[in-house]
């Protein structure tokens, strides 16, 4: 057995930063006037984050991927149809396995869009259709700005503490309008963003850390952590492991049954089975407000789990025998030339 096969799956350094932020909120939560100030800065940071998302989304990549519409529809269906259905099915685990609060967070996890960066990275590692993964992740993120709050209003509604119809208005003001502004100004700011990509990456991650600190500070002040026991967290991890395993199997074998080739199946599996922490955390802060701490906990745990499991899956896919040349698939996207 090679040394590479014995290596541990990756632990995302950013997840360690997130956990450190949670610990800081537990030890030094913002309260009173400080909480109001942090909340105001957090709101501005979320708006900036989605402005940057809009300014970075390449219209050319989106148009290049439209020719492979069957693949994108499949990923969108997995993300916004199959995942929510599985989340609804998990309601049968309440209250024996999951508390109502943790179930609300699990269901929210099932509603957020797919990832972009890690889906692309794992698709490339497994020798899959990278251009399709780029477009599928971009389409999912764009659709999620509209679909996630609408699905939350439909499926969570009053069952989620702090959620109300007014959340949709806040979504438009804090997420959709900044995103559209970024798209409108992209021709003027794209060059600047490209030249300062590394620095702006810190702005992205710093904004999300601020959202996490704000949410978990509010949770500490309200005493929500007294509602969760270690046994309940273990049960949540078990449920999420089953959820991830089911989605990995459905996206792989389902794509095969739909007639997709190996490279497309890889892109569908990694883009259709994963959830975006970067998009989900800001959305939760808007949708759930002061009650966001428990709502984002399942998403944070699922994020690290999907990275570890998908790293193993991608490694095994990369070691598969090379596929034999075959007739060109008319649905496959051509490589994006830059």
- Evaluate whether residue 197 is within a structural domain: yes
Chain centroid to CA 310: 14
pLDDT at 334 over 80: no
- Evaluate whether residue 7 is within a structural domain: no
Instruction: Determine the longest span between alpha carbons in the chain, in angstroms.
Output: 66
Q: Mind listing the pLDDT tens digit for each residue in 237-290? A: 999 999 999 999 999 999 999 999 999 999 999 999 999 887 888 888 777 766
Direct distance between the N- and C-terminal alpha carbons of the chain, in angstroms, rounded to an integer: 39
Q: How confident is the model at residue 64, as a pLDDT?
A: 59
Instruction: Map the chain to HEC letters.
Output: CCCHHHCCCCCCHHHHHHHHHHHHHHHCCCCHHHHHHHHHHHHHHHHHHHHHHHHHCCHHHHHHHHHHHHHHHHHHHHHHHHHHHHHHHHHHHCCCCCCHHHHHHHHHHCCCCCCCHHHHHHHHHCCCCHHHHHHHHHHHHHHHHHHHHHHHHHHCHHHCCCCCCHHHHHHHHHHHHHHHHHHHCHHHHHHHHHHCHHHHHHHHHHHHHHHHHHHHHHHHHHCHHHHCCHHHHHHHHHHHHHHHHHHHHHHHHHHHHCCCCHHHHHHHHHHHCCCCHHHHHHHHHHHHHHHHHHHHHHHHHHHHHHHHHHHHHHHHHHCCCCCCCCCCCCCCCCCCCC
To which residue do tokens 């995103």 refer?
179
pLDDT at 333 over 60: no
- Evaluate whether residue 56 is within a structural domain: yes
Percent of the chain with pLDDT over 70: 81
Q: Please, are residues 276 and 112 in contact by the beta-carbon 8 Å criterion?
A: yes
Q: Domain count of the chain?
A: 1
Q: How confident is the model at residue 323, as a pLDDT?
A: 58
- What CATH number has the domain bearing residue 174? 1.20.1530.20
Q: How confident is the model at residue 242, as a pLDDT?
A: 97
Q: Mind listing the pLDDT tens digit for each residue in 297-311? A: 898 889 878 988 888
Domain holding 93, by residue range, is: 12-317
Where residue 12 falls among pLDDT bands split at 50, 70, 90? Answer: low
- Evaluate whether residue 322 is within a structural domain: no
More confident residue, 327 or 173: 173
Q: Please, are residues 215 and 284 in contact by the beta-carbon 8 Å criterion?
A: yes
Q: Please, are residues 139 and 64 in contact by the beta-carbon 8 Å criterion?
A: no
Where residue 9 falls among pLDDT bands split at 50, 70, 90? Answer: low
pLDDT at 201 over 80: no
- Evaluate whether residue 330 is within a structural domain: no
Burial of 6 (0-12, 13-18, 19+ CB in 10 A): exposed
CA 303/CA 109 separation, integer angstroms? 10
- Evaluate whether residue 22 is within a structural domain: yes
pLDDT at 327 over 70: no
Overall average pLDDT of the 185-202 stretch: 82
Q: Mind listing the pLDDT tens digit for each residue in 101-147? A: 899 899 999 999 998 778 888 898 898 988 888 788 878 888 888 88
CA 7/CA 2 separation, integer angstroms? 9
Q: Please, are residues 128 and 318 in contact by the beta-carbon 8 Å criterion?
A: no
Instruction: Count other C-beta atoms under 10 Å from residue 183's C-beta.
Output: 17
User: Measured on CA atoms in the order 63, 110, 277, 291, is the torsion positive or negative?
Assistant: positive
Question: For the chain, what's the residue count?
Answer: 338
More confident residue, 243 or 227: 243
Q: Mind listing the pLDDT tens digit for each residue in 81-92? A: 999 999 999 999
- Evaluate whether residue 332 is within a structural domain: no
Q: How confident is the model at residue 6, as a pLDDT?
A: 45
Q: What are the CA-CA distances from residue 313 to residues 5, 22, 309, 320 (Å)?
A: 12, 30, 6, 11
- Sequence-separated contacts (24+) of 85-90 with Cβ below 8 Å: 86/110, 86/243, 86/246, 86/247, 87/111, 87/155, 88/155, 90/239, 90/243
Q: In this predicted structure, which of 35-49, 206-220, 256-270, 314-328 has the lowest mean pLDDT?
A: 314-328
Give the global pTM. 0.76
Where residue 1 falls among pLDDT bands split at 50, 70, 90? Answer: very low
Instruction: Count other C-beta atoms under 10 Å from residue 33's C-beta.
Output: 8
């Amino acid at each position: 057995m090679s040394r590479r096969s014995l290596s541990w799956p990756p632990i995302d350094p950013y997840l360690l930063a997130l956990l450190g932020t949670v610990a800081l909120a537990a030890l030094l939560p913002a309260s009173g006037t400080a909480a109001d100030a942090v909340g105001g800065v957090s709101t501005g940071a979320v708006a900036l984050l989605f402005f940057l998302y809009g300014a970075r989304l390449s219209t050319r990549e989106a148009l290049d991927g439209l020719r492979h519409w069957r693949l994108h529809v499949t990923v969108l269906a997995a993300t916004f149809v199959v995942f929510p259905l599985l989340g609804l099915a998990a309601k049968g685990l309440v209250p024996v396995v999951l508390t109502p609060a943790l179930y609300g967070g699990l269901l929210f996890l099932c509603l957020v869009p797919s990832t972009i960066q890690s889906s692309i990275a794992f698709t490339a590692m497994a020798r899959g259709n990278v251009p399709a993964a780029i477009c599928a992740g971009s389409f999912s993120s764009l659709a999620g700005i509209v679909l996630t709050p609408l699905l939350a209003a439909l499926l969570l509604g009053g069952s989620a503490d702090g959620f109300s119809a007014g959340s949709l208005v806040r979504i438009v003001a804090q997420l959709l309008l900044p995103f559209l502004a970024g798209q409108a100004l992209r021709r003027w700011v794209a060059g600047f963003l490209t030249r300062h990509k590394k620095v702006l990456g810190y702005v992205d991650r710093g904004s999300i850390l601020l959202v996490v600190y704000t949410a978990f500070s509010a949770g500490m002040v309200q005493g929500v952590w007294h509602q969760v026991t270690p046994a309940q967290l273990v049960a949540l991890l078990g449920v999420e492991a089953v959820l991830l395993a089911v989605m990995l199997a459905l996206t792989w074998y389902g794509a095969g049954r739909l007639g997709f080739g190996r490279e497309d199946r890889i892109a569908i599996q990694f883009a259709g089975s994963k959830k975006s922490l970067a998009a989900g955390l800001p959305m939760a802060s808007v949708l759930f407000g002061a009650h966001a701490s428990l709502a984002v906990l399942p998403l944070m745990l699922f994020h690290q789990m999907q990275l570890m499991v998908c790293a193993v899956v991608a490694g095994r896919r990369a070691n598969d025998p090379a596929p034999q040349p075959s007739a060109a698939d008319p649905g496959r996207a051509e490589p994006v030339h830059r």
